[in-house]
Amino acid sequence: MKRFDTINVIPFIDIMLVLLAIVLTTATFLVESRLEIELPKTDGTHHRANLRAQEITIDRNGRFYLNDQAVELEELRGRLANLPQETPITLRVDAGVPFARFVNVAEMTQDLGLRNLGVITEGQR
């Protein structure tokens, strides 16, 4: 049996450098989230805070809902047309719905000038 006179520490150093990089990256994010800054005040922010978010839902059968009220596509367009352009809109679509229905609603909001559109999804577990 061959006797080892020295220990090769290079793999150990590689592992330690990777761990150091992970710690430094994580520490940077923790410091940034705890920075206390005072944001400037504007008049426009107050107006947006008063806007009530609207939720559009398309169920598995392709029916449209606005804030949990069943609506037809043209009625949905009419109601959305009356909203201010800064109104936040949340779009929830069942996974079984054809993609074209989603695109129709997204294009409708864009045509009406409603640019504050968010899509709700569920993360994989």
The predicted-structure confidence for 62-112, as pLDDT tens digits, reads as follows 889 998 889 998 999 999 998 888 889 988 888 888 888 888 888 999 999
Establish if 100 belongs to a structural domain.
Answer: yes
Establish if 36 belongs to a structural domain.
Answer: no
Establish if 77 belongs to a structural domain.
Answer: yes
Q: How many structural domains are present in the chain?
A: 1
Which range marks the domain in which residue 87 is found?
43-119
Establish if 92 belongs to a structural domain.
Answer: yes
CA distances, 26 to each of 16, 20, 22, 29, 94 (Å):
15, 10, 6, 5, 36
According to DSSP, the residues that pair with 57 across neighbouring strands are 65, 92
Establish if 65 belongs to a structural domain.
Answer: yes
Establish if 105 belongs to a structural domain.
Answer: yes
CATH number where 114 lies: 3.30.420.270
Contact indicator for 93, 56 with CB cutoff of 8 Å: no
Establish if 102 belongs to a structural domain.
Answer: yes
Compute the distance between CA of residue 78 and CA of residue 112 in angstroms, rounded to an integer: 10
pTM: 0.57
pLDDT band at 33 (very low <50, low <70, confident <90, very high): very low
Establish if 49 belongs to a structural domain.
Answer: yes
For 89, counting Cβ atoms within 10 Å of its Cβ (0-12 exposed, 13-18 middle, 19+ buried), the class is: buried
Compute the distance between CA of residue 86 and CA of residue 2 in angstroms, rounded to an integer: 76
Compute the distance between CA of residue 114 and CA of residue 89 in angstroms, rounded to an integer: 8
Compute the distance between CA of residue 30 and CA of residue 35 in angstroms, rounded to an integer: 9
